[in-house]
Amino acid sequence: VKRASALPGEFEIISRYFAPLASGASGAFGLLDDAAVIAPSPYHELVVKTDAIVEGVHFLAGDPPGLIARKALRVNLSDLAAKGAIPRAYLMDVFLPERVTENWLAGFTRGLARDQEEYGIHLIGGDTNSTPGPLTVAITALGEVRVGRMLRRGGATVDDWIYVTGTVGDAALGLAILRGALPEPAAADMAFLTDRYRLPRPRVSLGPHLIGLASATIDVSDGLAADLGHICDLSRVAAVVEATRLPLSAAARVLVGANPELMTTMLTGGDDYEIIFTAPQAAVEPLAELARVHDLPITPIGRIVAPFAKSEGRVSVAGLDGRPMRFDSLGWAHF
Q: Report how far residue 112's alpha carbon sits from residue 106's, in angstroms, rounded to the nearest whole number.
A: 10
Residue 190 binding a copy of itself, by CB under 8 A:
no
Eight-state DSSP code of residue 269: S
Nearest Cα neighbor of 74 from 274, 226, 218 is 274
With contact defined as beta carbons under 8 Å apart, do 286 and 199 qualify?
A: no
Smallest separation, CB 237 to a copy of itself (Å): 15
Residue 24 binding a copy of itself, by CB under 8 A:
no
Site track 107-126 with a copy of itself (rule: CB under 8 A), x = hit: -----------------xxx
Residue 258 binding a copy of itself, by CB under 8 A:
no
Residue 52 binding a copy of itself, by CB under 8 A:
yes
CA atoms within 13 A on the CB side of 111: 20
Sign of CA dihedral 227, 323, 163, 174: positive
Residue 153 binding a copy of itself, by CB under 8 A:
yes
Q: How far is CA 186 from the centre of its chain?
A: 26
Residue 19 or 189: the one with the smaller Cβ distance to a copy of itself is 19
Residue 188 or 333: the one with the smaller Cβ distance to a copy of itself is 333
Binding test (CB under 8 A) with a copy of itself, winner from 23, 33, 183, 307: 33
Smallest separation, CB 269 to a copy of itself (Å): 9
Instruction: Give the range of 43-51, 61-69, 108-116, 196-204 binding a copy of itself by CB under 8 A.
Output: 43-51
Main-chain dihedrals φ then ψ at residue 224, nearest 5 degrees: -55, -45
With contact defined as beta carbons under 8 Å apart, do 187 and 317 qualify?
A: no
Q: Report how far residue 95's alpha carbon sits from residue 126's, in angstroms, rounded to the nearest whole number.
A: 11
Eight-state DSSP code of residue 309: P
Residue 131 binding a copy of itself, by CB under 8 A:
yes
Instruction: Give the range of 17-25, 38-46, 294-302, 311-319 binding a copy of itself by CB under 8 A.
Output: 38-46
With contact defined as beta carbons under 8 Å apart, do 237 and 304 qualify?
A: yes
Residue 186 binding a copy of itself, by CB under 8 A:
no
Q: Which of residues 274-303 bind a copy of itself (CB under 8 A)?
A: none
With contact defined as beta carbons under 8 Å apart, do 174 and 197 qualify?
A: yes
Residue 11 or 288: the one with the smaller Cβ distance to a copy of itself is 11
Binding test (CB under 8 A) with a copy of itself, winner from 147, 186, 188, 293: 147
Site track 193-232 with a copy of itself (rule: CB under 8 A), x = hit: -------------------------xx-------------
Nearest Cα neighbor of 229 from 164, 159, 135, 316 is 316
Binding test (CB under 8 A) with a copy of itself, winner from 70, 83, 122, 314: 83
Residue 181 binding a copy of itself, by CB under 8 A:
no
DSSP lists the bridge partners of residue 92 as 126, 139
DSSP string, 2-30: PPP-SS--HHHHIIIIIHHHHTT-GGGGG
Residue 126 or 174: the one with the smaller Cβ distance to a copy of itself is 126
Residue 7 or 246: the one with the smaller Cβ distance to a copy of itself is 7
Smallest separation, CB 242 to a copy of itself (Å): 26
Residue 150 binding a copy of itself, by CB under 8 A:
yes
Q: Which residues contact 78 (CB under 8 A, 6 or more apart)?
A: 200, 202, 203, 219, 221, 273, 275
Q: How far apart are the first and last CA of the chain?
A: 34
